[in-house]
Amino acid sequence: MQFTSFPVGCGNDDLFLDRIEVDPCGIIRVIGWSSFSEIKQCPRVFLDSHIVPFLQHYRVTRPDVDARVGVTSSLQTGLVFEFLGSESLAGRQFEALSIQIDGFPQFRFQGAFEFLSPHYRGFLTSSWVRHRETVYLSGPPNMDVHPDILALAKKLEGPVLDFGCGSGAVVAELQKLGREARGLELDTPLIRDAISPQLAGSVTLYDGRFPSSFSTASFKSVFCSEVLEHIPDFRSAVREIARLATHQVIFTVPDIAAIPIGFRHGLAPWHLLESTHVNFFNQKSLESLLLGYFAKIDFGRVCPCNFNDSPFHVSLVASCFK
C-alpha cells in the first residue's frame, strides 16, 4: 500500500481536472480548479464496481491558475473533491479505479488498490467537536507483542519479571518457550479485564507504590517495555527494577528524537503524545538515569518507521547489566 497519483489533464468551461490522488488511509482526491464560485458538477468514484462515498469538497490556493486565467477576486480557484472508502472496503484488493463526471470522458486506472482502516478514522467523518481527552487518548493494554519487542524479551534468561506487563502478552510468550516468567502491573479494572484466566496466577497486581511485594534479587532478568514514560516517579521505578534483577534489565521507551527528525515534514508520531505519557527520553537522558544502577549499558533501536524520506525508530532500547 502506497500513495499513488494519476494525471488527468481534462476540462470544460466549468471545471478542469488535473489529477487523482489515492491515499492508503482510504481517501481518494479528485484535484482540479474552477474559476466559478458555484460547484455545478461532482465526480463519482468507483473501485471496480463499488462506489466510493463522497466525503467533502474544498477550495485551495492555485497561483498558477490565477496567473493563467486572470482571476483577481478572493476566490480560491483550486478545487479538491474527497471520497472516503467505507470500512467494509479496507483490506480488500481492487483492480481498477474509475472516475465519472457529466460532460467528461470516463477515466479508468488499472492497478492494485488496497486501503487501511486507520486509527482515529472518525476524525475524517464525525460531526462533533473533539477535545483533548479524545484526541491523544489512551486505551486498553495491547493483547499482542510487536515482533521487535518480543525478540528482545526472548534474549533474557529466567526467571524473568515483565515490569508493567499490561495484558501479560510477553509473559505468555516467554512461558511458551519454557521460560520462568512473571508479570507486575497496576491493579485497575482495565488491567484485570485484560489478563486471561490462564495468566492470572503469573501476574501480580499492586497499587504502584515501591517497593513491590517481591524480595530483593527475585529475578535474574527484568523486562520493562514502554512503561517508564507512564510513571511520574520514574526514578523510583528504575531503583525498584534494579533491586529486583540480579543480572540483566532491558528497557524500551519511545524515542523523543522522532520529533526533531519529523520537524521538516511537520509531523510527530502519535504514539509519543499518547495522553498518559508523562516522561520523554532520548539516549543521553536515559543513560544519565540508568548509570547509577548498572555497570554496563548497551543502546539500540527497534520498530523502524519513516516520515516520508526521513527514517526514525519508535523505541529506544537500553540493555543493562549489573
Nearest to 316 by CA among 252, 271, 272, 267: 252
User: Under CATH, what is the fold of the domain 4-117?
Assistant: Immunoglobulin-like (2.60.40)
C-alpha cell at 258: 522522532
Given this model, what pLDDT does residue 123 score?
A: 87
Amino acid at 125: T
12 phi and psi, to 5 degrees? -135, -165
Q: Which has more pLDDT, 107 or 271?
A: 107
Task: Express each pLDDT in 275-307 by its tens digit.
Answer: 889 999 999 999 999 999 999 999 999 999 999
C-alpha cell at 77: 480557484
Buried b (16+ CB within 10 A) or exposed e, 92-107: eebeebbbebeebeeb
Given this model, what pLDDT does residue 14 score?
A: 83
Per the listing, cell 483550486 goes with 78
Supply the pTM of this predicted model. 0.80
Which ranges in the chain are annotated with CATH 3.40.50.150? 147-321
C-alpha cell at 273: 503524545
Task: Express each pLDDT in 93-132 by its tens digit.
Answer: 999 999 999 888 899 999 889 998 888 888 899 888 887 7
Per the listing, cell 525498584 goes with 240
CA distance linking residue 113 with residue 48, whole number of Å: 10
CA distance linking residue 318 with residue 315, whole number of Å: 10
Mean pLDDT, residues 86-93 taken together: 90
Which ranges in the chain are annotated with CATH 2.60.40? 4-117
- Per DSSP, what are the bridge partners of residue 47? 50, 97
138-147, 217-226, 269-278, range with the lowest pLDDT: 138-147
Residue-averaged pLDDT of the chain: 91
Asked if residues 311 and 302 have their Cβ atoms less than 8 Å apart, the reply is no
Given this model, what pLDDT does residue 38 score?
A: 85
Which residues are CB-contacts of 33 (< 8 A; sequence separation ≥ 6)?
Answer: 15, 16, 18, 62, 65, 77, 78, 79
Start-end of H helices in 44-168:
63-69, 147-153
Question: Domain 147-321 is classified in which CATH homologous superfamily?
Answer: Vaccinia Virus protein VP39 (3.40.50.150)
